[in-house]
Structure 1
Amino acid sequence: MTYAFTHRGVRTGLEENTLIAFQRAVDLGITHLESDVHASADGTVYLFHDETLDRVTDATGEFSTFSDTQLAAVRAGDEPLCTLDELLDAFPHALVNVDVKDERVIGPLAELIERRAAHRQIALAAFATARTTAVANLLSAPIRRSPGQREMVLIWLCAHLFGWVPRRLIHNFWAVQVPLKQGFLPVATRRFIRAVQRAGAQVHVWVIDDEPRMRLLMERGVDAIMSDNAPLLVKVLGSQA
């Protein structure tokens, strides 16, 4: 059975990664939330994608230079910004997949996970595996992770050339998180999905917002789909036998 991730929450405008955006997803019955994390100048972990505030807020400048007091006045689509603590408080039974966006958030994120004993509630992802490894090395218990781009290239090559993935490439990872295609190159093929699953990891595909591709991935047996269109994804997944 395929399950749903909401990608930065359900939004009608610029309120991505805000508490109300994730509340809408949870109200649909979604229990797997995807977000991005940056640290403020005070070392607080926030849900935020970009390096700067410019695109989705009423402020401008580099996120990491703003204090918590300054960020409290910032609005994204008229909504306040949300810390990871606030999200975990609001949805204690959700699994939160966080993209570790840069090195500055590594220490604060690890401190938060340890303080809250949130090792089973949070999963780590990043473009570079070194960032998730750095967080994991600061923790007192194992945590779910997905590989970065370099490892994914090796996994993809093994899956498509040989039809199998060596367990040594994947044994540290809970899931691989990939696009359906990278440019014209197919990634989440049936062969790839089966090879990764046989090696012991899940396959999550992002970001899928239309019904034909959702159904294609369900038919291929993908474990999870990340989407900006959570209402549609919930509807389509509801048709599973």
Structure 2
Amino acid sequence: MKKRTTILLVLIAAGAAIYINNTSLLSSRPAGEPVILAHRGLAQSYDRTGLTGETCTAEKMLRPRHDYLENTIRSMEAAFALGADVLELDVHPTTDGKFAVFHDWTLDCRADGAGRTRDRSMAELKKLDVGYGYTADGGKTFPFRGQGVGLMPSLDEVLARFPDRRFHINVKSSDAAEGEKLAAYLADIQPPRRALLTVYGGNEPVAAVKQALPDIRTLSRRTLTRCILQYAALGWSGYVPEQCRDTTLLIPINVAGWLWGWPDRFLDRMDGAGTQIFLLGPYAGGGFSEGLDDPELIKNLPAGYSGGISTDALDLIVPEIAHRPASKDRSDDAAS
């Protein structure tokens, strides 16, 4: 009986220590507003039912709420003006040594072109209409056709137009050589500017970028998985694994609540490790690209949440954020 009592007391003490080490009740983190990552700038929404890697999302566009086209300078200007803190953009190498900012691997869906984006020069891509393929009625009308000619920017143009802004650069391939090309490009950028960038995408190109430029934040599915698993095993102690340091993490909102110290102790730890956090929409299997696009999901954020969120529907989410409570309710602490 004495032995059992001793074991019980030890377990209680251990549980209390873990709770104290992870409860946000003891965090001094001030209340704030979410840091907003606008995925593809101010973009058109589309029906996500039955999506596959081959789906042409321009053909599944929902009824337009605005006339902005993703990954264009104009949409980026509008996104920053609306309240975005960070923008995500997609890049492809071109035959003339540039990087084109465009979502799709091929030109057939959105633009009036054909074939792989990477098989064209930037000069050729500039001649295309990036609004050509958008339709919300099964091809009866194309509301942006003719309005996107010349609007596909190069990465040079984007960084020159927004020299002090934060960007997530999405490498749209699994080609390590593409990562090497991007690393060579980024190596010519001054470190303070590079510190505002995150490179994410395929495991191989992201690893190549990180190897060439250890100071830049990177993220791939491999590094995210390793970080989450290692933190799940060791985070109760306050330890932040190496895979979780000096990086950017995109975490589904329905996974975040299970992380040790969520929300404030977790955010404090990641801040201390030089890591940025952005919440995505609920994980339901498959990829991790869908953002917090439903305004109702914003109501599920902890009061005073000052980490990041990623959204494809900036125009819907910003007004909802403006109506969130400004103070924290520590009784809602969810230390795992």
TM-score by length of 2: 0.61
CA distance in 1, matches of 2:242, 2:118: 36
Alignment of 1:54-93 (within 5 A): 54-77=108-131, 78-79=147-148, 80-93=151-164
Question: In structure 2, the residue corresponding to 1:69 is in which secondary structure?
Answer: helix
- Does structure 1 residue 116 correspond to structure 2 residue 189? yes
Q: Which runs of 5+ in 2 are unaligned?
A: 1-31, 46-57, 59-68, 132-146, 281-290, 327-336
- Letter paired with 2:114: T
SS in structure 2 of the partner of residue 178 of structure 1:
strand
Are 2:247 and 1:174 aligned? yes
The amino acid that maps onto 2:210 is: A
CA 1:222–1:215: 2 relative to 1, 3 Å: farther
Structure 2 equivalent of residue 145 of structure 1? 218
Whole-angstrom CA distance in 2 between matches of 1:238 and 1:138: 41
Shift of 1:61: 0.8
One-letter code of the match for 1:18? Answer: T
User: Structure 1 residues 29, 126: CA separation in 2 closer, same or farther (over 3 Å shift)?
Assistant: same
- 1:61 partner SS: coil
What SS does the corresponding residue of 2:38 show, helix, strand or coil? strand
**1:154 equivalenced with 2:229 (yes/no):** no
Pair 1:220–1:167, CA change in 2 (3 A): farther
Identity %: 25
Question: Counterparts of 1:82 and 1:21 in 2: how far apart (Å)?
Answer: 11
Pair 21,213 (structure 1): closer, same or farther in 2 beyond 3 Å = same
Distance (whole Å) between structure 2 residues aligned to residue 187 and residue 55 of structure 1 = 33
Q: Which amino acid aligns with 1:225?
A: I
8 Å CA contact retained: 1:4, 1:233 = no
Contact conserved, 2:178 with 2:205, CA < 8 A, in 1?
no
Consecutive unaligned residues in structure 1, runs of 5 or more: 181-185
**Any conservation in 1 of the 2:180–2:205 contact (CA below 8 Å)?**
no
**Partner of residue 314, structure 2:** 230
SS at match of 1:58: coil
Paired residue for 2:24? none
Contact 2:231 2:241 in 1 (8 A): no
Instruction: Read off the aligned partner of 1:136 and give its amino acid letter.
Output: K
The Cα shift of 1:31 comes to 2.8
**Structure 1 position 161, deviation (Å):** 5.7
For 1:3, give the aligned amino acid. Answer: V
- Flag the 1:239–1:8 CA change in 2: closer, same or farther, 3 A: same
The Cα of 1:209 is off from its aligned counterpart by: 0.8
Shift of 1:93: 1.7
> Which has the greater radius of gyration?
2
Name the count of aligned residue pairs: 232
Shift of 1:72: 1.4
Partners of 1:143 and 1:34 in 2: CA distance? 16
Deviation, 1:73, is 0.7
Equivalent in the alignment of 1:183: none
Distance verdict in 2 for CA 1:158–1:143, change over 3 Å: closer
Is the aligned partner of 1:99 residue 2:170?
Answer: yes
In the alignment, what sits opposite 1:28? 82
Q: TM-score, normalised by structure 1?
A: 0.83
Is the contact between residue 99 and residue 124 of structure 1 (CA under 8 Å) also seen in structure 2?
yes
Matched ranges for 1:5-16 at <5 A: 5-12=37-44, 15-16=69-70
Task: Output the aligned Cα RMSD.
Answer: 2.6
Residue identity opposite 2:123 in structure 1: T
Aligned to 1:187: 255
Q: Structure 1: which amino acid aligns with 2:120?
A: F
**1:160/1:111 Cα in 2 relative to 1: closer, same or farther (>3 Å)?**
closer
Shift of 1:202: 3.2
